[in-house]
């Protein structure tokens, strides 16, 4: 099986999920599923289909999409099974950091001024 995500790779998601992530959910098949979900969510929230036009996007836009998608997918990996972490608080802290970064990225991507900038970049 190979990466089917457009915005981020399995390796990028795995790094963010951390060393204690579940061996079940921190694999390519699960991450491919999570990536499909988060890419659709990002596209719908922004009302721009970044997936269909990904190759033509500016490197900066791709970087924001990569960070946002990998953060959201890593949250799914972590929440699937938190038992491998040293504590539930550790897993929840990781989720909170990833969530905050994803929300910051989404606020940038939905901003109309940023969208105008992206189109011209």
Residue 119 has pLDDT above 90, yes or no: no
Q: What is the pLDDT of residue 121?
A: 62
- Banded pLDDT at 108 (limits 50, 70, 90): very high
Cβ proximity of 3 and 10 under 8 Å = yes
**How does pLDDT run across 70-81, given as a tens digit for each residue?**
999 999 999 999
Check if the beta carbon of residue 87 is closer than 8 Å to that of residue 39.
no
Domain residue extents for the chain: 10-120
Q: In the prediction, which pLDDT does 1 show?
A: 65
Tokens of 50: 């970044």
What is the three-class DSSP state of 26? coil
Q: What is the 3-state secondary structure (H, E, C) of 50-71?
A: CCCCHHHCCHHHHHHHHHHHHH
Q: Structure pTM?
A: 0.93
The pLDDT value given to residue 80: 96
Q: Look up residue 20 and give its DSSP letter.
A: T
């Amino acid at each position: 099986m190979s990466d089917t995500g457009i915005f981020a790779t399995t390796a990028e998601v795995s790094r963010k999920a951390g060393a204690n992530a579940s061996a079940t959910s921190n694999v390519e098949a699960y991450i491919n599923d999570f990536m499909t979900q988060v890419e659709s969510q990002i596209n719908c929230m922004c009302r721009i289909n970044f997936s269909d036009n990904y190759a033509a996007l500016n490197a900066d836009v791709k970087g924001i999409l990569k960070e946002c998608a990998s953060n959201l997918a890593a949250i799914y990996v972590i929440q699937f099974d938190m038992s491998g972490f040293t504590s539930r608080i550790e897993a929840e802290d990781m989720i909170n950091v990833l969530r905050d970064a994803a929300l910051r990225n989404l606020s940038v991507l939905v901003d109309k001024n940023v969208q105008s900038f992206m189109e011209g970049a």
